[in-house]
Amino acid sequence: MAVLCKPAIAVPEHIITNEETLELARQLHGDHPQLGLVLRLIEHTGVRKRHLIQPIDEVLKHPGLDSRSILYEAESKARVPAVVDRALAQAEVEPDEIDLIIYVSCTGFMMPSLTAWLINRMGFRTDTRQLPIAQLGCAAGGAAVNRAHDFCTAYPGSNVLIVACEFCSLCYQPIDMGVGSLLSNGLFGDGIAAAVVRGERGTGMRLERNSSYLIPHTEDWISYAVRSTGFHFQLDKRVPGTMEPLSPALRTLADDHQWNASKLDFYIIHAGGPRILDDLCRFLDVPPGAFRHSRATLTEYGNIASAVVLDALSRLFDEQSALDGHQGMLAGFGPGITAEMSLGTWSAPGS
Residues belonging to the active site: 138
Q: Is 232 left (phi over 0), alpha (psi -120 to 50) or beta?
A: beta
CA distance 138 to 338: 9
CB atoms within 10 A of CB 97: 17
Q: How far apart, in whole angstroms, are the C-alpha atoms of residue 128 and residue 151?
A: 13
Which amino acid, one-letter code, is at 92? E
Strands (E), the chain: 3-4, 8-10, 14-17, 49-52, 100-104, 129-133, 159-167, 190-198, 204-214, 222-227, 230-235, 266-269, 327-334, 338-347
Euclidean distance between CA atoms 63 and 76, whole angstroms: 19
Please give the Cα distance from 108 to 92 (Å, whole number): 30
